[in-house]
Amino acid sequence: MYVAAITAFLGVAAGAPLPTTWPPPHNTSTQCVRMLAKHKLDWLLEPFTCTKAQKTSNAHIVLGTGLGGTGTRSVATAVDKLGYPACHSFLYVLRLLQMSKPHDLTAFRGGASYFDTPMGYIFPRLLCSFPKAKIVHTTRRDYHRGYDGSSRKCRSKREYRLESDLARCIEYGSTCPTREEARTAFANNERAVLSVPKSRRHIMNISDLSSIHAGPLAEFLGKEWRWGNPDKPIPHKAVYYASRACLGGNHPRHWVPRVH
């Protein structure tokens, strides 16, 4: 019901084909434009057209397209458990973007699934580069995340200050997005996701527990859920080590779920 409602509100046909051209979904601050240009990532701000010039890969990857605050860690953990080691790290996503070019994002082929900022912004390019990729989208009814211009919140991770700023610039158009800017990014993200064919997207609304059951997620990914009742919601914020999944090394198998 939620998907149908938001689809009607945004004026997007649920079964529409994958768009060819994706316009920039937000107004980017002058500060962000300069920062991204300095680090050679300003090409991400250009309108994107999926053409034959795009280098592609047949890798089966999963893209987590929800914005922060929509349950991405919980869903990443479930996807991880289903056999797609989940990289939930803005640091690693940025590293791969710096290894990429406007028409070549195949650096992402080394992983199995990706979550965290700025995946909600860059996923259209990845869908073009990976024709067999699927998206698992997390959402909620009332998106209230925002920093309200608070430098204290925006500067919480001093060791990753630059990377955090770059990731937010790409996702929200600001190094410290206000609640209004975050909601605008959220609405544009929803619109982009709903333009993806149903066969390539699975939507999980954390405001509706019936939509985050483990069974449908496993079925969408062609897997079987073996860690509890598939007709119940996935565990909330289960613990796993995303950094090792990002590096593609010795991925740990232990998994400690917490109940809702």
- CB contact at 8 A, 175 and 154: yes
Identify the residue whose tokens are 């598939």.
230
Identify the residue whose tokens are 């860059």.
122
pLDDT at residue number 247 = 61
> If you ran DSSP here, which 8-state letter would residue 27 be given?
P
CATH of span 2-247: 3.40.50
Phi, psi of 62 (to 5 degrees): -115, 130
- CB contact at 8 A, 258 and 235: yes
Give, in degrees to the nearest 5, the angle at Cα 206 between 200 and 210. Answer: 80
Q: What's the CA gap between 209 and 206, in Å, rounded?
A: 6
Q: Is residue 7 predicted with pLDDT exceeding 50?
A: no
The fraction of the chain above a pLDDT of 70, given in percent, is 77
- CB contact at 8 A, 92 and 118: no
Order of strands across the sheet with 201-205?
86-88, 113-115, 62-64, 134-139, 201-205
Q: Across residues 4-20, what is the average pLDDT?
A: 43
pLDDT per residue as tens digits for the range 61-109: 999 999 998 999 999 989 988 999 999 889 899 999 999 999 999 999 9
pLDDT per residue as tens digits for the range 154-203: 765 566 788 989 999 999 999 988 888 899 999 999 999 998 999 999 99
Tokens linked to 26: 């937000």
Identify the residue whose tokens are 């509890």.
228
The fraction of the chain above a pLDDT of 90, given in percent, is 52
What does 139-167 look like in DSSP terms, one character per residue?
E-SS-----TT-HHHHTS-GGGHHHHHHH
DSSP bridge partners of 21: 49
| Burial class of residue 251 in the structure, from the number of CB atoms within 10 Å of its CB (0-12 exposed, 13-18 middle, 19+ buried) | middle
Q: What's the CA gap between 66 and 186, in Å, rounded?
A: 8
Which of 147, 207, 204 minimizes the C-alpha distance to 174?
147
> If you ran DSSP here, which 8-state letter would residue 59 be given?
-
Q: Which residue type sits at 62?
A: V
Helix (H, G, I), strand (E, B) or coil at 62: strand
DSSP bridge partners of 101: 104
Q: What is the pTM of this model?
A: 0.84
The tally of CA atoms less than 13 A away on the side-chain side of residue 196 is 25
Give the residue extent of every domain in the chain. Answer: 2-247
